[in-house]
Amino acid sequence: MPDAIEVRKVPIHSVADASELAKLIDDGVMAADRVIAIIGKTEGNGGVNDYTRIISDRAFREVLIEKGAPADQVRQIPIVWSGGTDGVISPHATIFATTDADPTDEPRLTVGFAMSEQLLPEEIGRTPMVTKVAEAVKDAMAKAGITDPADVHYVQTKTPLLTIHTIRDAKSRGKTVWTEHTHESMDLSNGCTALGIAVALGEIEMPTDADVMHDRSLFSSVASCSSGVELDRAQIVVVGNAPGVGGRYRIGHSVMKDALDADGIWAAIKDAGLDLPDRPRTSDLNGRLVNVFLKCEVSQDGEVRGRRNAMLDDSDVHWHRQIKAAVGGVTAAVTGDPAVFVSVSAAHQGPDGGGPVAAIVDLG
């Protein structure tokens, strides 16, 4: 049985700051050698060349080593950074560590991690990627002690996107790639990964190559997929609940039906186990919400609730940044805290124009 989980959210005070992680360790909240995953938001542009993710990754790993965790172990920790804190979103990190706790029959938070086989550039956006991701998700579930896919509430991934270098590599071997537009490949990698998650959890049947990025009725309600230049395989973090683990925390999920669906956020918080009134207010949370994790996407019809918007036509500011800021504002209005994990590029992650929401709460 996996160990119980301690989870805390900390602010990031500058792009290379990891001082709040150091403080948690110094205060005895968690041990450096028991940190197993970190998921956070950095303040870069969120694009292909967003190197704030690499800077933050280095800062957090250096603190763990400085505080006594073995370097080889630290190198294997999944640290998933989503770049771009548009609007009111505040840079922060959510840190997961194992801890000692009495086992309980009540389902409590559990985390599993796995890496897929190497993803070749010609596989990004195609069924071989779906298959490799699905296999890794099942591996991570087993490590989390989860046997029922219904107990999985959040799957955070990091996968490679296409760069000029990897496109050239594929061509040199006589292969083709799905797209030669590197920024578009971010959406592609995320969407294809989400389909792999959905297959692993039995949410959909195996799709075809033609379905990827085209059939938006195929999606996962728990996938949160990010991509970047940092790695060449899928990094999978499965978060769910399992009996016998023990601890104070529990996770739940729902979906936002569109960019304004605050009720979808509240539904995820309630699903995690908080007893809230029918029409809750931020004050009803009483400090028991650790964090929420969302993906968002511009609706392909260019509308929200029947009203036209110009995000997809805007040549000055990419729609990635606009929808992230909009959903970040809606989310912060619910939680009362701008340090929320809102990530864009949600193809096949929740319904078109909406996205999955996961919430972690402290049940005490």
Which residues are identified as catalytic? Answer: 158, 226
How far apart are the C-alpha atoms of 278 and 331, rounded to whole Å?
A: 18
Positions of E strands within 247-348: 249-256, 289-296, 303-304, 307-308, 341-344
159 token code pair: 């996968």
Assign 98 to helix, strand or coil: strand
Check if the beta carbon of residue 33 is closer than 8 Å to that of residue 77: no
Residue 318 phi, psi dihedral angles, 5° rounding: -60, 145
Sheet containing strand 341-344, strands side by side? 249-256, 355-362, 289-296, 341-344
Helix (H) / strand (E) containing 270: helix 262-271
Check if the beta carbon of residue 10 is closer than 8 Å to that of residue 112: no
Check if the beta carbon of residue 305 is closer than 8 Å to that of residue 258: yes
The residue among 357, 258, 256, 352 whose CA lies nearest residue 305 is 258
Helices of type H across 70-113: 71-76
Helix (H) / strand (E) containing 229: none
Phi-psi region of 287 (alpha: psi -120 to 50; beta: other; left: phi over 0): left
CA 39 from centre of chain: 7
